[in-house]
Chains A and B, each alone.
Chain A
C-alpha cells in the first residue's frame, strides 16, 4: 500500500483502493485499469499523466459512476468521504454526481448541448440537485458564469454554445461543475482542445477555483507541462497501472521511473530544441493482452533480467516516493543525476 493511502485521514476526500476496470468485448477482456490506488485531499491537485489508453479517463469515469456497469466490470473501492461509491445504487450515485463530485471534459464544444442556451444548461444543473425556482437557478447560472470570468455574463447566458469561443465554453463547463460547490473536481484533459494562449487561462482558473472553493482537483492530462503548472501530486499511468506516484516536486526534481523519464525527455520546453527531444520508441501495449512482467519493458531503455517476467510492485524507495520498477534505488538516482535530470538541469 502506498504512503498516500496510509496517510488517508479525515481530510481525505477521495480514497481509491485497488481499482480495476475491465471491459468485456468481442475480442476478449480489455484491462483498462488494473489495481489502481490513489488519494485526494482538500486543496490538492492530483495530476494524472499518461499516454492515450493508459486508463486515465476510464478511472475518472469510474469515480463519477459514468461507466455502464453492464459492460464494465469494476473492482476495488472508491471511498468518497468514507463511503464506497461502487456500492451505491444508480440513484444514490446520481445524487453524488454533479453535487459532490463534478467533472469537466476535453472538448468543451461537444460537451455542451448545441440546442440549449448556456444559461439554461447551467440552471438545469442547479435544479438537478436543488429545489429552487427557474429564476433563482438562472440567476445562479449568471452569477457563476461571471465568477469564471465570462464578461457581460447576464447577456451571454442567453447565448447558445456555438456563439461561445472554445475558452469561454470551457469556462462555462467549469461554472457548470461548480454549481453545487462540489468537493472534488475532475478535469479530463481540460486544455487539450484549446488554443495555447487560452490553456494557461483555464489552468489558472481551475487553480483559482480550487483555492476559492477549497476543493480537491484531479487533473488528467497527457501533457507533463500542464501538470507542472498546478499539480501538488502526480500519478504517472501506463497501460492501466500507476508507474510512479508522489508529490509533484519530487516527480519533477527526482523522477524514479524510466517511463516518467521518457515523458520528461520527450517534453518540449522553451530551452530545448527539437533535435534534443527524445521520443519514447514503440507504442503502448494492447490492453487485451498486456505483456507479462512490467508493462513498459518492451519500450524501456533500462530493462534487464526480471523485467519481462516479474511485474514490479508500486513501492516507495528509501527517501523517495512509490514507483513500479525493478531498478535498484541507487541506480535510479544515478541515472537521474547523470542523465535525465542533468539534461533537464535538475538533480536531486
Chain B
C-alpha cells in the first residue's frame, strides 16, 4: 500500500508517518521499540508474534484501526477511547517511539483494552500514564492478550511473584525454543542494573523474547534476546538466569486454523 488518507480518528498521526512506521515494522520486525521509560514492554514483546508469523494480517488490522478507529483483531474488538486517539502521535521523550506513531496507536490501544489487576486503580488514560500502572501488564494478562489476539497457543509457566521452578532452567528453555517462540517475564532490575543497591526488589516487571540460549565453554550461558528494538547477546551465569526469570510463555502456532486472524 502506497497511499492512505488522513484518519479523522487519529488527528495527530499523519498517513505518511503511519505507513512509514508500518513499513519499517514489517521490513525490520526486530526494530519495534517500546520507548524509553514506558510500560509498553509487554505490548512490544507480543508484537514479535504477528510481525514474524503474520505480517500481512498485522498490517491489514493496523490499517483498519487507523481508517475506522476500531478493529476486530482475533477474538477481540479493539475500540480505543477518545483519550487514546488524542494521545497517539503525541507521546514524546520516549526515544525511538517518538517517531513511531503507528506503534503509539497499537500500544495505547492494547493498554486501553486489556486490563489486569495491576490496572485496577488506574483504568482511565491521562497523558503520562504510559509510564505508570495504567499500562502495566501482569503475567496472566500478557498470556491472555496473545491468546485473544493471535492464532497462537500459549503454555505459560511462572507467576508475578515467585520465580519459575524447574530442575534445570537452561535445558527447559533450550527445549522450549526448539518448538516455539519463548517470551520471558523478567526482573528488569536484574537485566538492566540501574543502581548499586545491594538489596533489590525481586519483582518481575519486564518482557523480552528469548531467541537463543547456549552454554559456553567457561560454564557461562549466552542468552540472545529481543528487547528495545534490537537483539542482545548477554553472557550470564546459571544463578543469574534463575534470579532473572519469573515467567516463561511458550507460544506455538495453532494448527486448526490455516490463516492467522
- Report if A and B associate in a common complex: no
